[in-house]
Structure 1
Amino acid sequence: MASDEERAALLVAGIARSLNERLVSLTADITSVLYAEIPDLRADRQLFDLLGASVEGNLDTIFHTLQHNIAPEDLDAPAAAMEYARRLAQHGVPVNALVRAYRLGQTNLLGLVFDELRAASVQPELSVPVLERIITVMSVYIDRVSQQVVAVYERERERWLAHRSSVRAVRVQEILAGNALPDAGAALGYVLQQSHLAAIFWSSDSDSGEMLARIESAAHDFANYVGGVTEPLFVAADRVTGWVWIPLGSRAHPERAQGEMCDFLERRHPGLVVALGAAAAGIDGFRQSHGQAQRARAVAIAAGQNAPAVTAYDEPGVSTVALLVEDLVATRAWVRGVLRGLAADNENSARLRETVRVYLAHNLSNVAAGKELDLHHNSVKYRVKRAAEVRGKDFTGDRLAVELALLVCQWLGPAVLTSD
């Protein structure tokens, strides 16, 4: 007959196994709580995905430690947790936000453990040993790992501050904040009284130690391609992101179209992504174009794999969609409410959405829509009728909402669609 200690160990393993089976959903829930409760973690939307990877890595380690009775004193922080700490340091996020994230995550995880314990109907005499084992493992692990990530944070913060161009970064931040000194342009070696095209370059590959150098090189290459009259101004935002201002002199537009820029980037610098503002003049234009590039970047990040290599703020639809990505959860719910069955993420629905989008853009003309889509007008008519059936209503009563929802789907794709 098994001893109480052996029975308790089996119960601990069962609880850990049950929680690990829900790893994806638990990760999403805890990540959302941390993002909502700790404002400093919202420094950059791109960091949200890395936060999720960090949470998932920590949960997975804790669950396996409990399930296989591993000593928590021997464990190290997951790679994603280490990288997240480095990235927070690069963005200047206070270290106490990182520590609080671990404490808040532990509190939420403990609540899940209590739920599992109640559901398992554990005998009263085993409740204390089971809880003691779980709480001990969690506490030792969190204490050990939080010390490790804080140490990584502090080393990275020192390295980052030591290696970045501090004078240039400070001057740029002063300009963006509206506090530029009269000689700001001279300090930067960049002419402010001209037309600027702001760009943000980044990569999802955080493994390469040479990534920032690669991004800066690509920024110079890209600037020359689109018609920069002198060398661009480059400032590192973090180890995989660069802020760039391309000097256009007196020109109001770059020399290349968005499609040409995409082809160039994919051919010469695969793996890098760019968001562009609209060209604007003077010191106000320096700030304005950068702000637009930030909003275009938010659209590209929300779109994920659906985003092109270059997302330009002045491309039709981008500025509108940029207003809706701040609250992607609400936008997703709204799109699904407007389009209903048409919001399904499959080829047939995508074909119907595109037909309706072109049909509405041509003021309900089957003939004009057919010419753009290379379809017979009767085929357009059939698809529009079928789309209305899938949606459950026609498109004339709330046409503006439908057109906007279709625009959001066109740019964000799976991020706002319903999985089959």
Structure 2
Amino acid sequence: MTDQSDVAEAAIGISQRLYDRLSETIAVIEDMVARESPDLTTDSSLLQLLHETVSANVDAYFSAIRHNIPVADIAAPPVALEHARRLAQRGVPVNALVRGYRLGHSVALQLVLTEIRSAELEPDLSLSVLGAMSALMFGYIDEMSQQVSAVYQAERERWLESRNAVRALRVREILADDSRDVDAMTTAIRYPLRRTHAAVVVWYPDPGVDRLAAAEAFVKHLADALPVQGSPLFVPADSTTGWAWLPLQSAAGAAVVEQIRTFAQNADGEPWVAIGEPLPGIEGFRRSHQQALAAHTLAVASGSSMNRVSAASDPGLGAAALLGADNVAAARAWVAEVLGPLACDTEADGRLRETLRVFLRTGSSFKAAGEQLHLHVNTVKYRVQRAGERRGRPITEDRLDVEIALLLCQWYGAAVLSSQDE
């Protein structure tokens, strides 16, 4: 009969080897959950929460093995509870949340089994270690599923009872279904859907006392400063982000976008704002919102204060949002492949990238690039030449790839750049 102390010692060794490759272990689990349960990754903020939730749960499980902590004594990681709350606020079904834990359980069990096989233990010891680790894993997942489900249900009930919840549900229905009666929906949400609409997304990345209230107050003050044709519509996307629409005159255009931008840039509290184009009717209501969401996703992914206020009409933003929306990590790897050392996150390389980007955009005109950048023509020539040297091969070989990579660098910043020691 296998000695239990030997089982415990071997299990600790197995868990330690997996823990030593923690980032790899987390990535494998996260990729499976994200691929098989897409409801959990509908935007970059949920994707980040999923990553941190997987990380925290993996760490807690391995800690339980190493320190012989009973499952009943383990509290769900705080980030896992916040993940559940955020999903409840977004209306993601609780089944998707629980399924995510089951998928993670399945992948983690396979990783443990692979590691046990590679350890080449005695057959009886291998079976005993697998049994012990899988029993603890099942117990852990079962306990965590119950805890996050309870938090989800409580948050869902609270959210549905809030003052904007019913209105927000109707708005989500309008965004998801183009067959609804416009006049009936106008009455239901108390907003003129037949007008021209400029959609905005408002959020505050830094924790505050009442960020959602601040976002709503910002939209109200913004509407007071614009020639709106009725009251604005504001609904909470979750506890950190607000969606809003401004009803405008039919002739509203780019000038309104610039008014919104200027107001946001000068607003107290420095809210982050993403702006859609003014578009007419219920189709415009949806499309302007989609544009604002794309700008929001890009700003969150980049984390750069340069994107604190952005608009869908900003040159290159729409393309950059589409190119990097699904996987910023993949975009970062591709940028490094295309630009080589020129993709380094340094001030000097940043100047070279910006000069090269403007040079290519102005039709490879040194004079036009110099005028736009306020640089002497010879300085532009030097930087373009130096950018090619840093890249390691001529720009003419794959100019389109270079332009796309530079566009991603412009909008995503450090999120797609390489550190100097890579």
**What TM-score do the two structures reach when normalised by structure 2?**
0.89
> Does the CA-based 8 Å contact 2:292-2:311 persist in structure 1?
yes
Deviations 1:269-328 (A, max 9, x none): 23x422110112333322221121122222223323365211210111111212212333
Size of the aligned set, in residue pairs, is 414
User: Which AA in structure 2 matches 1:110?
Assistant: L
> Does the CA-based 8 Å contact 1:54-1:84 persist in structure 2?
yes
Q: CA deviation at 1:35?
A: 0.5
- Mapped to 2, the partners of 1:286 and 1:54 lie a distance apart of 34
> Does the CA-based 8 Å contact 2:257-2:275 persist in structure 1?
no
Q: Where do 1:69-80 residues align within 5 Å? A: 69-80=68-79
Select 2:262's aligned residue among 260, 264, 276.
Answer: 260
| 1:201 equivalent in structure 2 | 202
User: Which AA in structure 1 matches 2:191?
Assistant: Y
Most deviating of 106-115 and 332-341:
332-341
| 1:53 equivalent in structure 2 | 52
Q: CA deviation at 1:32?
A: 1.5
Q: CA deviation at 1:402?
A: 2.1
Most deviating of 48-57 and 277-286:
277-286
Task: Report the CA distance shift for 1:208/1:130 in structure 2 as closer, same or farther (over 3 A).
Answer: farther
> Does the CA-based 8 Å contact 1:232-1:247 persist in structure 2?
yes
Most deviating of 108-117 and 56-65:
108-117
Q: What's the Cα RMSD here?
A: 2.5
User: Which AA in structure 2 matches 1:264?
Assistant: N
| 1:182 equivalent in structure 2 | 183
> Does the CA-based 8 Å contact 2:81-2:148 persist in structure 1?
yes
Matched, 1:30 2:29: yes
> Does the CA-based 8 Å contact 1:81-1:149 persist in structure 2?
yes
Q: CA deviation at 1:348?
A: 2.7
Task: Report the CA distance shift for 1:209/1:17 in structure 2 as closer, same or farther (over 3 A).
Answer: farther
> Does the CA-based 8 Å contact 2:220-2:232 persist in structure 1?
yes
Q: Where do 1:16-415 residues align within 5 Å? A: 16-176=15-175, 177-178=177-178, 179-204=180-205, 210-228=210-228, 230-250=230-250, 251-252=252-253, 253-254=255-256, 256-257=258-259, 260-265=262-267, 268-270=268-270, 272-305=271-304, 308-328=307-327, 329-415=329-415
User: Which AA in structure 2 matches 1:260?
Assistant: T
> Does the CA-based 8 Å contact 2:276-2:292 persist in structure 1?
yes
Structure 1: 5+ residue stretches without partners:
none
Task: Report the CA distance shift for 1:334/1:192 in structure 2 as closer, same or farther (over 3 A).
Answer: same
Most deviating of 107-116 and 17-26:
17-26
- Mapped to 1, the partners of 2:402 and 2:226 lie a distance apart of 35
- Mapped to 1, the partners of 2:204 and 2:359 lie a distance apart of 37
Deviations 1:39-87 (A, max 9, x none): 3223333201001111111111111111111112211111111111111
Structure 2: 5+ residue stretches without partners:
none
Q: CA deviation at 1:343?
A: 2.1
> Does the CA-based 8 Å contact 2:198-2:279 persist in structure 1?
yes
- Mapped to 2, the partners of 1:167 and 1:9 lie a distance apart of 53
> Does the CA-based 8 Å contact 1:342-1:353 persist in structure 2?
yes
Task: Report the CA distance shift for 1:160/1:312 in structure 2 as closer, same or farther (over 3 A).
Answer: same
- Mapped to 2, the partners of 1:223 and 1:21 lie a distance apart of 53
Task: Report the CA distance shift for 1:113/1:94 in structure 2 as closer, same or farther (over 3 A).
Answer: same
> Does the CA-based 8 Å contact 2:196-2:249 persist in structure 1?
yes
> Does the CA-based 8 Å contact 1:359-1:365 persist in structure 2?
yes
Task: Report the CA distance shift for 1:199/1:349 in structure 2 as closer, same or farther (over 3 A).
Answer: same
Deviations 1:130-158 (A, max 9, x none): 22321222121111111111111111111
Identity %, equivalent residues = 45
> Does the CA-based 8 Å contact 2:197-2:246 persist in structure 1?
yes
User: Which AA in structure 2 matches 1:192?
Assistant: L
Deviations 1:349-370 (A, max 9, x none): 2221111112223332334433
- Mapped to 1, the partners of 2:257 and 2:17 lie a distance apart of 58
- Mapped to 1, the partners of 2:204 and 2:116 lie a distance apart of 43
Q: CA deviation at 1:175?
A: 3.6
User: Which AA in structure 2 matches 1:90?
Assistant: Q
- State the secondary structure of the residue aligned to 2:395: coil
- Mapped to 1, the partners of 2:173 and 2:123 lie a distance apart of 63
> Does the CA-based 8 Å contact 2:228-2:247 persist in structure 1?
yes
Deviations 1:116-174 (A, max 9, x none): 22333323443233223212221211111111111111111111112253542344234
- Mapped to 1, the partners of 2:201 and 2:135 lie a distance apart of 45
- State the secondary structure of the residue aligned to 1:243: strand
- State the secondary structure of the residue aligned to 2:266: helix
Task: Report the CA distance shift for 1:114/1:167 in structure 2 as closer, same or farther (over 3 A).
Answer: closer
> Does the CA-based 8 Å contact 1:296-1:322 persist in structure 2?
yes
User: Which AA in structure 2 matches 1:54?
Assistant: T
Task: Report the CA distance shift for 1:230/1:81 in structure 2 as closer, same or farther (over 3 A).
Answer: same
Q: CA deviation at 1:216?
A: 1.4
Deviations 1:237-273 (A, max 9, x none): 22222110122335333274576345224xx123x42
- State the secondary structure of the residue aligned to 1:76: coil
**What TM-score do the two structures reach when normalised by structure 1?**
0.89
